[in-house]
Structure 1
Amino acid sequence: MPAASIARVLIDSPLPQLDRLFDYRVPEAMLEDAVPGVRVRVPLRSAGRIADGYLIELVDSVDYQGVLSELEAIVSPVPVLTPQVYALARRVADRAAGTASDILRLAVPKRQVRVEKAWFAADRAEPSPFEPVAVADYGIARIDEAIGGAERLAVDAVPQVVEAGAPPSRRWVGHWAVTLAAFASRALQAGSVILAVPDYRDLDQLVTALEAILPADRIVRIDARQSNADRYRAHLQCLDGVPRVIVGNRSAVYAPADRLALIALWDDGDPLHSEPLSPYAHSRDVALLRQELEGSALVFLGHARTVEVERLVQVGWVGALAPARGYLPKVIPTAQQSAEDRLAAQARIPSSAWREARGALEHGPVLVQVARPGYAPQLVCETCRQVARCARCSGPLGLRTARSSPSCAWCGAIATDWRCAHCSGRGYRLQGQGATRTAEDLGRAFPGVPVIIADGERSVLEVSAKPALVIATRGAEPIAAGGYRAVLLLDGERMLARESLRVGEDCLRWWANAIALAAVGAPSVLVGVGGALAGALATWQLADYARSELSDRRRLRFPPAVRVATVTGDPASVARATAAVDAITGVDVLGPVELGSNQQGGEGLRAIVRLDYAQGASVATALRAEIIRNATTRRMRVPAGGGRPSLPTLRVRFDDLEPFEQA
């Protein structure tokens, strides 16, 4: 057999028992195109099936002494999977007790034949030159040192909007976007750059800032909103050996990059950085693994530091970097309006906030952040004050507009003949005020002022510098030209009432990101919130809150002070899985507890495994072995009354905070 004529293939399958490399003989006709990274089709011994996969490596011999099956076909000669991305996928999967193929579905877009042919036929032009941009607020020497020495930094962003100056039109973006663009321009001298942001709003700002200082052919956008063809075209562009700035959402951290010099994440506390599909890897953890594998620099940039990043700072894994010359926002905490506060009763804001808004509207727009969209997000029974719930699915009822009928927030059913399940009452009353109702109230309080609503249903990315009231839900705030002349943060008590382990951290991040949209010197009024959160925001010492929160979690052994994993399945499977890790030092098991019936109709239990970070690899290996055991030895159980048989399942999810949301 000729040298290097044995292909080691990773099969594209979610089955955990197939998460390894399989050996196949390469036919002579395929030797030229059989290179690591290409898509292949291979036979499986069971039932004569054909499976897709990736050729990972070529070897000249294997331990197997029998006759190897041949590759069925090489789907495409393009090596779409680079060795670095495969090594990253393997590390991420092993860390989370998952499969590498689950990661590669996120990392490698589906093949588009027309796009691939056009890429082959296109001329490869020389990349455009560029000049690196100075990063005055953070110091050029420190940034250059980080890029050259593969340093990891937690960087505090300057809360300000600036004019990006992108031709042909000039646009305003957050100062954080300009900072990341400057970091990227300096790192691009050493190699490629990956910039990951939570959503399309942040992505548009960052691309605008990049286009102002870099040639267009040096920027590659990877966006979940793109078509399959555009995503595949961007993926192929990253493979041409030219250093580029790759900017996108959470999947961008898996992008192939030539000589990776820098990975930067904006606002890593945003839940959109967390992958909702197995193995549920957070882009922050993926970035840490990739930085370690490839020796690039790593930057976490944000207005409010997350507890996870604060832990990395305290253990010395990440260094902290604050602006050399900072801008301190003007934040005014204030109490809710009292019954005697008649001046602003119709606006549901205190008189002090009303006066700040009134004065600011003479010069430009005012931002009002609220908790919920809609008119009245929730209705309650007029008699017993219990939440009015849908008769079909038990979801909460609400109103979208003042004249609409009550409808369910879950299934959308109209409550035409509603009756309270607690007291049988038929009347209901409004509870809470959404963005639409707030707009009506403030419109009456500020007659003649234009009112703009920005929420999930009405996407507004930019507003002009003209006076206007901009009512926005958290995370949907548009950019104002020149910055807002005042920012009012309403519904603070309602936001803090949410039952969640990280509710304080989330609120601080929402408020800080909104305050950062204000013009220099413009006031920001926080309504109805006091204590440590208000103090941290007023003094802009946001990292102090993260340190205090982490200290509390250490005492309770809550994440991220420790790692956690949830083990879910039938009683026997959960018992075997927890027994496999219970004896490991630094591990304790909570539960199991009943979860009710699972999707397959069997009983469901969940146990929580808490572990020290040093034991992560041992615990993940043990749990992955149990997953494979469960998948290969399970038997079908036929219900006594007939019907579809159920299969016992075992699911493991690392870094799962859901059980702690009721803390």
Structure 2
Amino acid sequence: MGAAPRPIARILIDSPVPQLDRLFDYAIPPELVPEAVPGVRVKAPLRTAGRVVDGFVVELATEDDADRALSELDAVVSPVRALPERLHRLARAVADRSAGSASDVLRLAIPKRMVRAEKAWLAARVGAPAAEAGAEAESDTGGSGADAGAVVGDAAPEAVAGAATGELAGYPGLADRIAAGERLAVDAPPRPDAWARLLAEAAADTLARGRSAILAVPDHRDLDRLQGEVAALVPPDSLVRHDAGQTGPERYAGYLRTLEERACVVIGNRSSVYAPVHAPGLVAIWDDGDALYDEPLAPYAHARDVALVRQGLEPCALVFAGHTRSSDVQRLVEIGYVSESLAARRETANVQLSGSREDEVSVRVPSAAFRAAKDALAAGAPVLVQVARPGFAPTLVCADCRHPARCGPCGGPLHARSRGAVPVCGWCGVSAHEWACQKCRSVRFRLSSSGSERTADELGRAFAGTRVIVADGAHPVLEVAAEPALVVATRGAEPFAVGGYGAVLLLDGERMLQSPDLRIGEACLRWWSNAAALAAPGAPVHLAGVNGPVARAFASWTHAIYARHELAERAPLHLPPAARVARLEGEGGAVVRALEKLREAVPELAPDAVLGPVSLEAVDRFGPTAQRALIRFDYARGGAVAQALRAAVIAEVVGTRRRKDRKRANRATLAVRMDVLDPEL
């Protein structure tokens, strides 16, 4: 008789090395057979590296070939199935779309293991006292422990049933469309907290139907506002906050809650779209055009793209909501992949274009905007003033020739921290005590721009006796009271005002539009609209000194039409999102070889699909021969392009090892980034 089939485990190794992005077969020792189940963390020997590595069991199998040499699992780290099959499937799909590794995706999706939080969660599931189970355990990083339930809120369970209505926040039929699993674009009304209430009601309705909801927002300020709305509608043990600002134990405990076979509502930042919740019924992304959704770590998958991939794998409703509409969502609407959901009554902000006449072009705060601020303060309401940049005077120029003031040692731009202060370099931080203009040798400079602090100083003089509040990166302010105050904030840092602002002044619009960014029009429209939505109903919103299509779209509140025009202008140039763009960087020879292999693998690419390669002038991680190329392609060929570029990356790594080039063996020679939002050479 032949030998009995032996059990094997297929392991996904946690490694950034691209050629290890596959499943490895390991024999399961008899003593580990009961514990080695799909999803658990394990340690396994990696013979090529001569060390033991971490990994996850993805599959179990048996084989009859007992003579095949297989390494044995070293240990099962935890009984928790931290990698459910649905999350592995999502990670694999996102990695394949982004020409990356599944382990890199899981590093973003699964928090680091914390032993005390894990033991408390396991004890709670079996009914044992949580305090005893985790009394002497410590986290893997030596940090303090946390309770098992990283859940928030104090609403009663009965609150859920009240949210299950046919109409959500003024959108007829929206609840039924979400329950049917539709993909929707929702333009939120410009009212304070209306967007948070809309998403909260949608999540509560989904939970009442026995399914989970995931709500993603850009930053912690939005998360705080959303948490308050959701906590009033769902039970406290059904709300999980996923926040990069949480401690390790808190974040891991919240992740463990999403593994349970109970529906929940997850609110969080960009990585929350990976939450492996039970029975997902809704994935909603608020303000998808925000740059914070663009993942800075490999494989650089945007949260919007992850949500689209997930909705294709796990049928559920997908909602893109915002005060504006990104051109990416507009493309999905135009091809019929996403449908629009309109409110029963169209609401617009009271936008007024101020200072557009020739006699007021040079005036930073036009007379109409000044009067609006004065009237709002007299009525007892706060006034919001949005500016482009923080600081006092972000840029300085020569007082005689108007040449930009630059640092002598490094050539960086000079700025002033206060009125009369010595200029300081923005690059090297050196104070320019004996500065002289490089062009005319003048020693006099002038302030050529106004940051948040200088604007606050000037407005404080104009409105004597009025409290002035600065809100920017260095002075974070989350909320202001319903009392007279001038709130000077940089874009994106505007605090919430109780009852709404009595007036909103949007300054430096022309300066914002001058940024060399493909999407600067969309970005400005989004910044202005989000600020306008903080105004009280009917309060004036003054956009100072701006004309053109962006200003007209803002004044008429026709954001979808502007997104449609942007998309139409980019289509002939094959710019995103009309087409996908990948960026290829690396050593000169590696880039050329990768492009040749790409042409062989995807011969149907257009002749002008590749832009470059061009040399990178600055010091680069790929050395003095570093080059960069852009590849433009349509969405139908995305899979083939990603596969070819990934194969090129692996070929370069393997080729370097075979050539035994010690100088290059420990550093990357080629890097790929798919779906570049703003391509530039």
Give 1:416 shift.
3.1
**What CA distance in whole angstroms lies between the structure 2 residues aligned with 1:322 and 1:62?**
60
The 3 A distance-change label for structure 1 pair 40 and 539 is same
Instruction: Output the CA distance in 1 between the equivalents of 2:497 and 2:385.
Output: 13
Q: 1:116 to 1:432 in 2, by over 3 A?
A: same
Determine if the alignment matches structure 1 residue 629 to structure 2 residue 651.
Answer: yes
- Aligned pairs, how many? 640
5 Å-filtered alignment, 1:487-498, equals 487-498=504-515
1:421-570 correspondence runs (5 A): 421-570=438-587
Q: TM-score, normalised by structure 1?
A: 0.92
Out of 293, 296, 301, the position equivalent to 2:313 is 293
Q: C-alpha displacement at 1:415, in angstroms?
A: 2.7
% identity of equivalent residues? 51
Partner of 1:97: 99
Residue of structure 1 in register with 2:636 after alignment: 614
Could you tell me which residue of structure 1 aligns to residue 182 of structure 2? 151
Q: Shift of residue 417 of structure 1?
A: 3.4
Higher mean displacement: 608-617 or 594-603? 594-603
Contact 2:206 2:212 in 1 (8 A): yes
1:286 partner amino acid: V
Q: What CA distance in whole angstroms lies between the structure 2 residues aligned with 1:220 and 1:303?
A: 25
Verify the 8 A CA contact 2:168 2:202 in the aligned structure 1. Answer: no
Query: For the residues of structure 2 that align with 1:86 and 1:417, how far apart are their CA atoms?
Result: 61
CA contact (8 A) 2:6 2:66 kept: no
What are the Cα deviations for residues 508-565 of structure 1, in whole angstroms up to 9, with x where unaligned?
Answer: 0000000000111111001011121121111111111000000000021111100010
Alignment-derived partner of residue 361 in structure 1: 377
Q: SS of the residue aligned with 2:161? A: coil
SS at 1:629's partner residue?
Answer: helix
User: Offset of 1:98 from its aligned partner?
Assistant: 0.6
Change (3 A) 1:261 1:392: farther
1: CA distance, partners of 2:219 / 2:471: 15
Other-structure match for 1:311: 331
Q: 1:15 aligns with which of 5, 8, 17?
A: 17
Establish whether residue 142 from structure 1 lines up as the match of residue 174 from structure 2.
yes
Q: Which residue of 2 aligns with 1:236?
A: 256
Q: 2:347 aligns with which of 318, 327, 335?
A: 327
Q: For structure 1, which segment, 582-591 or 463-472, has the greater mean C-alpha deviation from structure 2 after superposition?
A: 582-591
Residue 240 of structure 2 aligns to a residue in which SS? Answer: strand
RMSD between aligned residues:
2.3
Instruction: Report the residue type matching 1:585 in the other structure.
Output: E
Question: Which 4+ runs in 1 deviate beyond 6 A?
Answer: 1-4, 124-127, 337-341
**Distance (whole Å) between structure 2 residues aligned to residue 41 and residue 368 of structure 1:** 55
Structure 2 unaligned residues grouped into runs of 5+: 128-148, 150-155
1:62/1:538 CA distance change after superposition, 3 Å: farther
Out of 269, 278, 297, the residue aligned to residue 258 of structure 1 is 278
Asked if the contact 2:172/2:344 (under 8 Å) is kept, the reply is no
Corresponding residue SS for 1:46: coil
Question: Does 1:131 pair with 2:174?
Answer: no
**TM-score, normalised via structure 2 length:** 0.90
Shift of 1:422: 4.5
Q: Report SS of the residue matched to 2:679.
A: helix
Once the two structures are superposed, residues 595-614 of structure 1 have per-residue CA deviations (whole angstroms, 9 ceiling, x without a partner) of 13422433111111000100
2:368 maps to 1:352 = yes
Q: Is the 8 A contact 1:337 1:350 kept in 2?
A: no
- Taking a change above 3 Å as real, the CA distance of residues 75 and 136 of structure 1, as seen in their structure-2 partners, is closer
CA distance in 2, matches of 1:82, 1:391: 58
Contact 1:452–1:468 (CA under 8 A) maintained in structure 2: yes
CA distance in 2, matches of 1:655, 1:159: 30
**Hey, what does 1:651 align to over in structure 2?**
671
1:175 aligned onto 2:197: no
Q: Which residue of 1 aligns with 2:418?
A: 401
User: Any conservation in 2 of the 1:636–1:647 contact (CA below 8 Å)?
Assistant: no
Match of 1:26 in 2: 28
Partners of 1:78 and 1:387 in 2: CA distance: 60
Q: For residue 645 of structure 1, report the CA deviation from its aligned partner.
A: 8.9
> Contact 1:636–1:646 (CA<8 Å) still a contact in 2?
no
Segment drifting more, 116-125 vs 648-657: 116-125
Distance 1:646 1:10, change over 3 A: closer
Alpha-carbon displacement from aligned partner over 1:373-421 (angstroms, at most 9, x marks no partner): 1110111233443322334543322122224332233343333333444
- Aligned pair 1:602/2:632, yes or no? no
**Is the Cα contact below 8 Å between 2:469 and 2:485 reproduced in 1?**
yes
Change (3 A) 1:139 1:493: closer
1:267 lines up with 2:287 in the alignment = yes
Q: 1:65 to 1:321 in 2, by over 3 A?
A: farther
Q: 1:131 to 1:71 in 2, by over 3 A?
A: same
Name the residue aligned to 1:167.
none
Check whether the contact 1:275–1:282 (CA below 8 A) recurs between aligned residues: yes
Q: Distance in 1 between matches of 2:22 and 2:360?
A: 71
1:35-74 aligned at under 5 Å gives the runs 35-61=37-63, 66-74=68-76
Report the Cα distance in structure 2 between the residues aligned to 1:380 and 1:62, rounded to whole angstroms.
79
Q: CA deviation at 1:215?
A: 1.7
- Matches for 1:204-223 after TM superposition, within 5 Å: 204-223=224-243
Q: CA deviation at 1:581?
A: 2.2
Mapped partners of 2:359, 2:242: distance in 1:
52
- The whole-number CA distance in structure 2 between the counterparts of 1:456 and 1:636 is 48
More displaced 10-residue stretch of structure 1: 60-69 or 289-298: 60-69
**Compared CA separation, residues 595 and 132, structure 1 to 2 (3 A):** farther
Q: What letter matches 1:354 in structure 2?
A: F
Check conservation: 1:307, 1:550, Cα contact below 8 A. yes
The structural deviation recorded for 1:325 is: 1.5
Matched residue of 2:488: which SS? strand
**In structure 2, what is the Cα distance between the partners aligned to 1:62 and 1:532?**
70
The match for 2:610 is 589
Distance 1:444 1:502 in 2: 36
**Structure 2 counterpart SS, 1:60:** strand
Instruction: Check whether the contact 1:407–1:413 (CA below 8 A) recurs between aligned residues.
Output: yes
Q: Which residue does the alignment assign to 1:166?
A: none
Paired with 2:377 and 2:5, the residues of 1 have a C-alpha distance of 76
Tell me how far apart the structure 2 counterparts of residues 501 and 47 of structure 1 sit (CA, whole Å). Answer: 44
- C-alpha contact (below 8 Å) 1:567/1:653 kept by paired residues: yes
Q: Which amino acid aligns with 1:146?
A: I
Q: Deviations over 1:445-504 (max 9, x none)?
A: 111111111111111111111111111110011111111111111000110011100010
